[in-house]
Amino acid sequence: MDDDSRTEHWERRTEVPLGVASLLFLAAYAVRVLALDPSDAGQVLCLAVLLAAWAVFALDYAVRWRLSGEGARFVRTHWLDTLVLLLPLLRPLRVVRVYEAVLHRHGRPRLALHARVIVYAGLSVALLGFAGALAVYQQEHAEPGATIRTFGDAVWWTCATLSTVGYGDVSPVTPVGRLVAVGLMACGLALLGAVTGSFSSWLLQVFSQEDEPTREGPGDAEGPPGK
């Protein structure tokens, strides 16, 4: 059994537990940030869950480092994993991969490529947006001069940012909040790219089938843009 297959084996075995840990991490973070009346017990429990989940992530990183047999180069070649370890709020993206794996295991027929891209992009953006809104709310809500005062404001601002609309009626004022915002803008650009690219390639595909127009053709053609 060589290194690659052992890494693969490890990744297949840990997929679901890591996905669950990611969701727990996000939930504990959300409770910590949003709890209106922070009782000591609840806060401590949340902190414990956060640390435990992060320990699981670190363990997974360490095992995969070991299995790769790469030494110090691993940090650079797997820079994405390193980044996610340091910024565990990006972790929930893993859930998208777990969702794919679970669908696969249950023998569900896979969606068409365009639908899959839209579903995955939507799921990723929803998770990242939720994590981003939490982080910005935590940074901003107590700041003097802040316009993001409630979690509702933070969600509203996140939606305006991810769609690249950007009203600017509320916007972050702290350096950390703005750093999160820049990350969300990049997500917005990528989302736009996913929607547009998906639509464009779907159109091209329909187009190449247009020579033999059938009744299903146009109905199908209304799929992606349909709300």
**Rounded Cα gap, residues 151 and 140, in angstroms:** 10
Cα–Cα distances in angstroms (integers) from residue 116 to residues 104, 112, 120, 161, 225, in the given order: 13, 6, 6, 23, 14
Token pair listed for 198:
């998906």
Taking contact as CB under 8 A, which single stretch among the options 19-27, 39-47, 64-72, 182-190 is the one that binds a second copy?
182-190
Encoded one letter per residue, x for contact with a second copy by CB under 8 A and - for no contact, window 50-89 reads: ------------------------------x---------
**Rounded Cα gap, residues 79 and 73, in angstroms:** 10
Helix (H, G, I), strand (E, B) or coil at 114: helix
Phi and psi at residue 78, to the nearest 5°: -110, 45
CB 124 within 8 A of CB 153: no
Nearer to a second copy, 40 or 215 (CB): 215
Token pair listed for 36:
């209106």
Q: What is the dihedral of CA 184, 133, 20, 50, to 10 degrees?
A: 110
Among 90, 133, 154, 180, binds a second copy (CB under 8 A): 90
Nearer to a second copy, 32 or 129 (CB): 129
The answer to the question of residue 27 lying near a second copy (CB under 8 A) is no
Nearest alpha carbon to residue 101 among 166, 16, 8: 16
Among 120, 141, 149, 151, binds a second copy (CB under 8 A): 120
Taking contact as CB under 8 A, which single stretch among the options 49-57, 61-69, 70-78, 115-123 is the one that binds a second copy?
115-123
Task: Please list every residue from 183 through 212 that binds a second copy, using CB under 8 A.
Answer: 183, 185-207, 210
**Rounded Cα gap, residues 77 and 141, in angstroms:** 38
Q: Tell me how far, at minimum, the Cβ of 39 lies from a second copy, in Å.
A: 27
Task: Please list every residue from 127 through 146 that binds a second copy, using CB under 8 A.
Answer: 128
The answer to the question of residue 3 lying near a second copy (CB under 8 A) is no
Q: Given the rule CB under 8 A, which residues bind a second copy? A: 80, 90, 93, 96-97, 100, 110, 113-114, 116-117, 120-121, 124, 128, 152, 156, 159-161, 163-169, 171, 175, 178, 181-183, 185-207, 210, 213, 218, 221-222, 224-227
